[in-house]
Amino acid sequence: MSVVLFHKRKQLTSGAGRSLVRDAQPPLGRGLPKRLVPAALQPAARRIYHAAFRTRLHAEWWLRDRFERRKSAFAVPPARLRFRVGEDSRLVAFLEIGRRTSENLEKVLENAGCAFAEGQAVLDFGCGCGRTLLWLVRRFPEVRWQGVDVDGEAIAWCRSHFRGAAFETGQPLPPLPYADASFDRVFAVSVFTHLSEEYQRAWANELQRILKPGGVLLLSVYGEHVWRSQPEAGAVERGEFVFRTSGKLKGILPDWYQTALQNRACITTLLARHFARVSFQERALGDHDAVIAWK
């Protein structure tokens, strides 16, 4: 995560404690220190920087699609879709992170005593263009895999290129197109790390709805080892929910899908309203903590 400057935009109050919403103020450009730009010109300079950043991204995606996709033995999504799932369009990163995430998911569930098993119905909530499912459908062909995401373009790509999984397009807020008690397992990797407090509350309730009795939700959050080094560490430690927004990704990522920082007590309180038991495995999903909740 890059180090950037922040200013507080507004402060909200909720039953879970104060929630801070912050606008990220990125550097004005390499070799151009912020202090050299007059304060009155900084908003315009940021807009120019953001526009240049987005233009560079589109050029990078074109180049990667032209030269990188030929190197993969898999059918892989275009660079713009790869970027949306991890802010990194490199093919090697897409494949390696997907492989590691699938292995980590398997290990987390085994350690929690609720491993993937033959005949289970499992949902990848926020599947994007299938970075993780690409590996899981090969590792566990006997599982009934499903994926859902708000990114209709990514879902269309998955439907055209995946075998062994079914896909649906969701909406930013519930409900999902599934009946009550449809799934044995639901996992959401790098989803709650980007949702506002309002959206997290809504989706925790909805994911509980679609789980079978005794079913398990596995999600990831930024752990203390991440938020402790951030400017808002004090707020997070006090139990405040911090939500960052980024101007440079405007038009690429929606405003409600940015960066969420919360401590363990905060996410536990949220999930305890809907689930019988909640446990944690620290740094079990790369830089994310794994949170396991039983219905």
C-alpha 187/C-alpha 133 separation (Å) is 11
C-alpha 89/C-alpha 92 separation (Å) is 9
pLDDT band at 69 (very low <50, low <70, confident <90, very high): low
Strands 241-246 and 259-261: antiparallel
Q: Count Cβ atoms within 10 A of the Cβ of residue 6 and give its class: 0-12 exposed, 13-18 middle, 19 or more buried.
A: middle
- What digits encode the pLDDT tens for the residues 274-294? 999 999 999 999 989 999 999
Task: Provide the residue range defining the domain that includes 122.
Answer: 5-294
pLDDT of residue 43: 77
pLDDT of residue 44: 75
Rounded mean pLDDT of 141-151?
A: 97
Nearest Cα to Cα of residue 211 among 236, 239, 183: 183
Residues 22, 28, 32, 36, CA torsion sign: negative
Question: Which residues are within 8 A (CB) of 68 and not within 5 positions of it... i.e. 6 or more apart?
Answer: 79, 90, 91
pLDDT band at 4 (very low <50, low <70, confident <90, very high): very low
What is the CA angle 12-85-11, rounded to 5?
10
pLDDT of residue 259: 93
Indicate if the pLDDT at residue 15 is higher than 50: no
Which of 2-6, 43-47, 221-225, 243-247 is least confident? Answer: 2-6
Nearest Cα to Cα of residue 124 among 141, 113, 136: 136
Does residue 167 sit in helix, strand or coil? strand
Does residue 66 sit in helix, strand or coil? helix
C-alpha 54/C-alpha 245 separation (Å) is 16
Indicate if the pLDDT at residue 178 is higher than 90: yes
Domain count, the chain: 1
pLDDT of residue 5: 22
Indicate if the pLDDT at residue 75 is higher than 70: yes
pLDDT of residue 26: 38
pLDDT band at 248 (very low <50, low <70, confident <90, very high): low
Average pLDDT across the chain, whole number: 86
pLDDT of residue 33: 57
CATH of the domain at 237: 3.40.50.150
pLDDT band at 10 (very low <50, low <70, confident <90, very high): very low
Beta strands in 28-115 (DSSP E): none
Rounded mean pLDDT of 3-16?
A: 28
**Cis peptide bond prior to 175, omega within 30° of 0:** yes
pLDDT band at 249 (very low <50, low <70, confident <90, very high): low
Rounded mean pLDDT of 204-213?
A: 98
Nearest Cα to Cα of residue 167 among 146, 153, 144, 193: 146
Which residue matches tokens 């499912």?
133
What are residue 161's phi and psi, to 5 degrees? -120, -15
Contact in structure between 216 and 109 (CB atoms under 8 Å): yes
- What digits encode the pLDDT tens for the residues 149-167? 999 999 999 999 999 999 9
Which of 41-55, 71-85, 129-143 is least confident? Answer: 41-55
In percent, how much of the chain has pLDDT > 70? Answer: 85
Which residue matches tokens 């390696």?
96
Contact in structure between 257 and 192 (CB atoms under 8 Å): no
pLDDT of residue 24: 44
